[in-house]
Amino acid sequence: MGRVWAGVAEAALKFQVLGPVRVWRGGDQVPLGPAKQRAVLALLAMRAGDGVLMSELQEGVWGVAAPGRANHLIHTYIARLRQILQPEAPRRRRTGVIASTGSGYMLCVEPHVSDVAVFRSLARRATQCDQIHESGTAFSLLRDALNLWVDPALGEVEALLRRPSELVELRSEWVAAAQRYVSLGLGLHHAEEVLPTAERLVLLDPLDERDQAHYLTALHRAGRRTAALRHYGEVRDLLRQELGVEPGKALQSVNRHLLSGSRGHPGAAAARSGHTDDTGQPVSMLHRGNELRALSALLDSQRLTTVTGPPGTGKSMLIRHAVARIETAGARAAVVDAADLLDRHELMTRLTEERLSRDRQTLVVLDNVEHLTDACALLAVQMFPQWPRLSLLIGSREPVRLPGEAVLRLAPLGIPTMAASSLVSLAPAADLFVRRAAEAQPGFRLSRANAPYVREVCARLDGLPLALELAAACLADESLPALVRRLDRPLADLAPARLLYPGRCWSVRGMLDRSLATLNPVERWLIARLACLPPEFGKQAMARIGDPPVRRGPEVADLLDRLVEKSLLLAVQAGTNPQYRQLTVVRKLAAELCAAEDGSPDLGDPRFSIM
């Protein structure tokens, strides 16, 4: 019956519902009689301590087709169960275990004798420990709770009952506990221990990407990388066939880690390697001096600072340079790259590894957390009062929206407006591209002949530093005119074979997919339909789109503001007649989404023109 029931008096009753329906008196199993009688006991045991109405008992035993003698039959079953459970008591005094409530019956037992009650108690205690960051204790409590489930499928109970709502609620409690158990186990490096539970979760709901990501991670860390890669392919095919979508951010992050072959913690690896050269120093940063000074000033005066902006604007690069300044000055900075972390539990585990001290001034840096903004907000609310010397720097494509948050929003670099080489050279985007191109293709320099091509690259990539660096890296293997031709399909083709700085993002699609994964279905609906609008538009143009396909959904104007907040749309004019601008690469992504949802539109149609 599980060690959590150790210490119960030998003569006490013990009720099992999380498996075959059983009752023990001391060490002996008690015969419970026919199926409908056991169904009555199962209903009472599942809600021990709470009254169960006669109508609920009828529905549980017979469903909607209860016989006319249903009440009489239930009274008979109760009388027989009372005799079984209290055989020594006089007939009229057998109410100490099953009591009448006037409108039904109630199982009156101490919580520790019902496996359902014990499970719920352990799950509640685990939640409390988790909230105060006692992850090890929470994990042990959840392990004990799940061990009570002799049959997680509740096969016998399902066969006995005709009231499915009871089982739906109980099974959802198992799923919630199992998900927390797996998440905590991965964070505590117990991959092999949680692997069977992770596998059961994906069998229950194969389309749950979070559970699939946890299962793949558990397989990988348990040394079964080949099985994990094979399973990722199966999940990807399933998502395409059933939902018509590609794997989301969490699954893609795990797959990248699988392909890298490392069995270490993905977040730790990213924190060490991202945006650094072979010496471990940040890669040189161009044309962000003003932003770096502004960020340094905010860090001197604010406890919570967020660097935000569209994908590929160089948020992480700016943060790494600000951290380098702080560490050069002798201050402590604890950096966590959360790109591959799946949830709050893994984030807290990574922070625990940093061994923070309340007695030392420390800047905690949480980068790439657009999928964990709620977790970051909760972290700030919980830690700031207790850690007066701690401050927080966040890198995200949207703010965490807390009072007192200072937000530094990065914009794309300025692009050339004319093709003359003397003017192209003055544009920050062109200067960045030319310098990186010279690193990929020694001898490359701006000239009158190639200036129009450089201007074209900068314009089509919106002056986004990361996209420009990816484009420059392609010049290691091809010519500039060939690169410009690639930009017709940047989402598919702009993924260089060799990167200038391994450890950074390797494709424009990868750069955008993280943002796409944070959208809810209505926001995704809108971003897809923006492909039908000009690159710059006002609210009056939204009439072409119509209303979101949901009842009482948000106004389109509110959705536009959300996309601006998530850095997927730029607000170029405020006031009564606001204007918005779509980044070219985001508009390409929107056209793909629209084609996938509405058929296969002609991308040569003027509606989809991107220049």
Domain boundaries, the chain: 1-183, 189-263, 273-409, 421-509, 519-608
Q: What are phi and psi of 107, to 5 degrees?
A: -85, 115
- In this predicted structure, the answer to whether residue 602 has a pLDDT above a threshold of 50 is no
Closest CA to 332 of 359, 360, 310, 292: 360
Confidence band, pLDDT 50/70/90 cuts, at residue 433: very high
Check residue 269 and give its pLDDT.
37
Domain range 273-409, its CATH number among 3.40.50.300, 3.40.605.10, 3.40.800.20, 1.10.260.40: 3.40.50.300
Adjacent-strand bridge partners of 24: 14, 29
Kindly report, residue by residue over 528-554, the tens digit of the pLDDT. Answer: 888 888 888 887 887 777 666 654 555
Q: Which residues pair with 381 in a beta bridge?
A: none
Partners of 276 in the β-ladder: 282
pLDDT of residue 196: 92
Ranges 48-52, 203-207, 395-399: which has the least confidence: 48-52
Q: What angle do CA 344, 348, 349 make, to 5 degrees?
A: 115
CA 290 remoteness from chain centre: 33
Q: Which CATH class is domain 189-263?
A: mainly alpha
What would the pLDDT profile of 438-447 be if each residue is shown by its tens digit? 888 888 999 9
The percent of residues in the chain predicted with pLDDT above 70, rounded, is 86
**Residue among 524, 611, 510 nearest 568 (CA):** 524
pLDDT at position 100 over 60: yes
Residue 410 pLDDT class (50, 70, 90 cuts): very high
pLDDT band for 610, please (50, 70, 90 cuts).
very low
Q: Which two tokens stand for residue 423?
A: 């003017």
Contact predicate 540/311, CB 8 Å: no
| DSSP code, position 90 | -
- Check pLDDT > 90 for residue 64: no
Q: 347 and 375 in contact (C-beta within 8 Å)?
A: yes
Q: What is the mean pLDDT of the chain?
A: 81
pTM over 0.85: no
Separation of alpha carbons 150 and 165, rounded Å: 21
What's the rounded mean pLDDT across residues 176-201? 90
Instruction: Give the model's confidence band at 260: pLDDT under 50 very low, under 70 low, under 90 confident, else very high.
Output: low
Q: Which of 356, 341, 301, 340 is nearest to 503 (CA)?
A: 340
Top-tier CATH class for 519-608: mainly alpha
Residue 8 has pLDDT above 50, yes or no: no
Q: What is the pLDDT of residue 11?
A: 47
Mean pLDDT within 468-490: 85
Reported as a pLDDT band with limits 50, 70 and 90, residue 275 is very low
Q: List pLDDT tens digits, range 126-156.
A: 988 877 778 888 899 999 999 999 888 888 8
Q: Which residue has the tokens 């893609």?
A: 252
Q: What is the pLDDT of residue 19?
A: 86
Tell me the pLDDT band of 280, cut-offs 50, 70 and 90.
very low
Across 315-326, average pLDDT? 90
Could you report the per-residue pLDDT of 336-365, keeping only the tens digit for each?
A: 988 777 778 888 888 887 888 888 889 999
Q: What are the Cα distances from residue 37, in Å, to 34, 41, 84, 131?
A: 5, 7, 11, 41
* Amino acid identity for residue 340 in this structure: D
pLDDT(47) > 90:
no
**Residue 390: what pLDDT?**
92
Residue 540 CB-density burial (10 A; 0-12 exposed, 13-18 middle, 19+ buried): exposed
Determine the average pLDDT of the residues in 177-192: 89
Tokens coding 523: 């926001």
What pLDDT score does 284 carry? 63
Assign 363 to helix, strand or coil. strand
CA distance 457 to 485: 10
CB 504 within 8 A of CB 466: yes
CA 198, CA 214: separation in Å to the nearest integer? 7
Per-residue pLDDT tens for 230-253? 898 898 888 888 888 888 877 887
Distances (CA, A) of 445 to 288, 422, 473: 22, 13, 14
Which of 331-335, 415-419, 435-439 bottoms out in mean pLDDT, i.e. has the lowest?
Answer: 415-419
Name the band, by pLDDT with cuts 50, 70 and 90, for residue 413: very high
For residue 274, the model assigns a pLDDT of 43
How much is the pLDDT for 591? 81
For residue range 199-216, what is the model confidence (pLDDT) as tens digits?
A: 999 988 888 888 999 999
Assign 3-class secondary structure to 245-268: CCCCHHHHHHHHHHHHCCCCCHHH
Q: Does residue 319 have a pLDDT over 50?
A: yes
pLDDT of residue 298: 95
Q: What number does CATH give the domain 1-183?
A: 1.10.10.10
Give yes or no for a contact between 88 and 135, defined as CB atoms under 8 angstroms apart.
Answer: no
Look at residues 17, 27, 285 and name the one whose alpha carbon lies nearest to residue 150: 17
For helices 209-221 and 164-187, the axis angle rounded to 10 degrees is 40
3's CB contacts (< 8 A; 6+ apart) are 144
Q: Do domains 1-183 and 519-608 have the same CATH topology?
A: yes
Which residue in 236, 308, 295, 256 sits closest to 504, CA to CA? 256
User: What average pLDDT does range 315-320 have in this prediction?
Assistant: 91
Whose structure tokens read 């790439």?
A: 368
